[in-house]
Structure 1
Amino acid sequence: MQFIDIKAIHAHSAAQIDAAVAQVFEHGRYINGPEVYELEATLGKFLGDSKPLHCIAVASGTMALEVALRALSIGPGDEVITTPFTWISTAETIALVGATPVFADIEPDTYNIDPKEVEKVITPKTKAIIPVDLFGQLPDYTALETIAEKHGLKIIEDAAQSFGAEQNARKAGTFGHVATTSFFPAKPLGGYGDGGAVFTADDQLAEDLRAVTNHGCKERESHYILGTNGRCDSLQAAIIQAKFANFRDAEIALRQKVGARYSEALKDYVTVPKIHPGNTHIYAQYTIRPKNRDSLGEALKAADIPSAVYYRKPLHQQEVFSHLPCAKKSFPHTEQAAQEVISLPFHPYLSEADQARIIATVVKAV
């Protein structure tokens, strides 16, 4: 049994992927090939419906965050608020552009950043908030957008784990001034290497985002903004484009079906994911909270069932951020979640038989 069965996901789009990759080999435009622009148009339309969003494909989800920060001119002397309960990319990109990460604690039930905690740490240096749509569902953007408007802050939505989810009929990737996502293979819409995208409805910001990915220039050797090499290559774009139709038409619903089966069967034994009112969940990870994580992990291992812990060590406890003033603070909900959560095998094609075996093992263990 695989924790995420990427081979099973591939099998459902294999013919389309083979044809798309062969086309790239045929034309030989491995950078900025037509597949990149096709993917950008497809994803922009998916998110924007009647008015497509600007989409800029980039080299990774991490690069997407860095590009967004640079395009918003965030740098030395600025502070950006984010969650300590996430993968390090969200905070490290803040530091990489010269700004200071500031952490705000999470809600204990959704594991997403708590808007009330965000407002407590805003200072005159605060320029932006980066909420993370953790594990596959969105935080309370109504509250976060109200806070951002009140204090004149930008919101960068980190939708690396939530592409395909919604909040009040708005799709992940459409919140804030700019949104980012990742196509890392384990993500809901995963490529076969690194890749990501940035989204915005702002025409000028879109122009700046694209320039940042191309060494800060719109015309060759004319650089008006500090940029980087952030481009998405044609092969990855071709693969993601080839997978997208099945993701949109089948896998979003299948992921929700598998998640619902887990929750119904396990709700009386462990704390299952709480879905915030108005949200749908895409389950980048199916994360539960048992009374004893270690004993459950051992029982799963003994049954040859893989599991994983996201995230065992919060960002404020990481050595690289030990110099930050907020690193000396306690974030009790984050710290408790880090000690208690565990994620079960999950992918859209998880069979009912395999899922039943996982569920039976969990129930017996707890």
Structure 2
Amino acid sequence: MKITDVSTYIIGNSWKNWLFIQVHTDEGITGIGEGTLNAFAKTVEAAIHELKHLVIGMSPFDVETISLKMIRDVYSDGGQIQGSALAAIETACWDIMGKATGQPVYKLLGGKCHDKLRCYANGWYRGGTDEESLFHQAKEVVAKGYTALKFDPFGAAWRTVERSDFTSAIRRIAVVREAVGQDVDILIEGHNRFSVHTALQFADAMALYRPTWFEAPVPPYRQSSVIEVAKRSPVPIATGEDYYNREQFAELLKHDAVHIIQLEPQFLGLSASKQICGMVHAHNGVTAPHSAQGPICSIVCAHLNMASPNFFLHEIFDEFNASWAQDILSTSFKVENGYLQPPERPGLGFDLNLDEISKHPYDPGHWLPLFRQGWEKRERVN
């Protein structure tokens, strides 16, 4: 079996354009993947088409060599853009392998490690982050069966905050804890916002409300800052979604300070993601892969999580997306009472509905501006 071509499709989801692909083969089996990257849908699409000549003619089973050709052999560091292009094509190859062998992808990655995957809700707060809205929206999430939920209480903050904004953010955390009770995990999203001292002030203040983690409190690439916060914070730190190679995770893990690793298969591909899960396992840590792109990304994470013994939590946006989002796949992908399972169908278990995709064209205003007031409503940005 040989790869013959790669097709790309951009879907105009209102809060982030989604980029999907199909990898075609000479035996008629087609695999799907995703390369979504917030404001860079067209850029990643161009990278896919610029790099696809490297894999045409190759066997889709040779995913390690495909990764080397698209990363090592190019001899340049395209960061998350290059990683997204790689992951889209490599994911589609895993889908093809599953379809060709009649096995779901998670079986190819090592098999079932869990009966089901516990999910945490994200994107549930689109009604606003005033205290009353948060209270009622959080209760609705728990009523759906979720036992964990994540939110960013910090508005448009960056590096430092005024005292009144600090108090408001902590109050929002208190309101959500009051709404969901003591037995639900609340996860606090930092979105790489803060300086070290601001992050630690917030960590100390929020500890009273027992968050399960404080995610990405400081920018990720100066790892000394990440490590300092992780070692001094009374709340466990979770991070990793911004990294796009194994070496970055190796550097992070050697400090033995962060033990909740949020790798992003969207930037790494499944082969590297599985290896990183093993690295985390060896450091006595757990994984909660970042799954905040499109629905194919969520499916990929489900397969990876099912095959990872040290899986912790699965991130879900899908239930809080536009109602048509499920229609772009051949079969629905739904959480049931706060849990999900990857499909038992071969490959990823889904194909693209190209007719539905054509109804939602690319829009340059579809991206998430995390440092603007009201970003959480995920409305079109002009």
Q: TM-score of the superposition, structure 2-length normalised?
A: 0.35
